[in-house]
Amino acid sequence: MNAPQHYPGQPYPQQLHAGPPQPYPYPQPYPQQQNAGPYPVQPHPPGAYRAAPTGAYRAVFKRHTGMVVLALTNPTQTIGTWPEIRKAFWAAQTHCLTLGWWGIISCLVYNWIAIFGNIAELNRVRELAKRNGDA
């Protein structure tokens, strides 16, 4: 009887036999994390986690789309300076004012919640910008 051959997509030969599982050939499942080799292990690429620049603000604006029966609200996060936040606010409000009314529930409730929520978020960021002297 011939020994079983290994084909891609099939289990390894040691997995075909019943019994206790076979140990891994390496002491750790990820040998590249050992510091042996020409490349040192880094927890993350350099500069991947930088602090936000001074004068940067974070705002989440809602873009509501009304449909005849359904409604869709997409929160959009913006991080930037005060003029960039204002630009993102007007983009979200334009979306709500043009596409938010096309449904019964959207026209009566959901679009109003998105519009006034966006105004409240802009006022919150405006107060922060005034405290920092940006607005």
Give residue 101's pLDDT.
Answer: 94
Give residue 83's pLDDT.
Answer: 94
Mean pLDDT, the chain, whole residue set: 79
> How many structural domains comprise the chain?
1
Highest mean pLDDT among 9-18, 23-32, 122-131: 122-131
Assigned domain for 10 exists: no
Q: How far apart are CA 6 and CA 22, in angstroms?
A: 16
Q: How far apart are CA 82 and CA 94, in angstroms?
A: 18
Assigned domain for 18 exists: no
Q: How confident is the model at residue 25 (pLDDT cuts 50, 70, 90)?
A: low
Assigned domain for 8 exists: no
Assigned domain for 80 exists: yes
Q: How far apart are CA 41 and CA 21, in angstroms?
A: 30
Least confident of 45-49, 112-116, 130-134: 45-49
> What residues contact residue 102 under an 8 Å CB cut-off, 6+ apart?
65, 66, 67, 68
Greater confidence (8 vs 127) lies with: 127
Assigned domain for 107 exists: yes
Assigned domain for 103 exists: yes
In this predicted structure, the answer to whether residue 29 has a pLDDT above a threshold of 50 is no
Give residue 46's pLDDT.
Answer: 56
Assigned domain for 67 exists: yes
Host domain of residue 102 = 57-132
Assigned domain for 20 exists: no
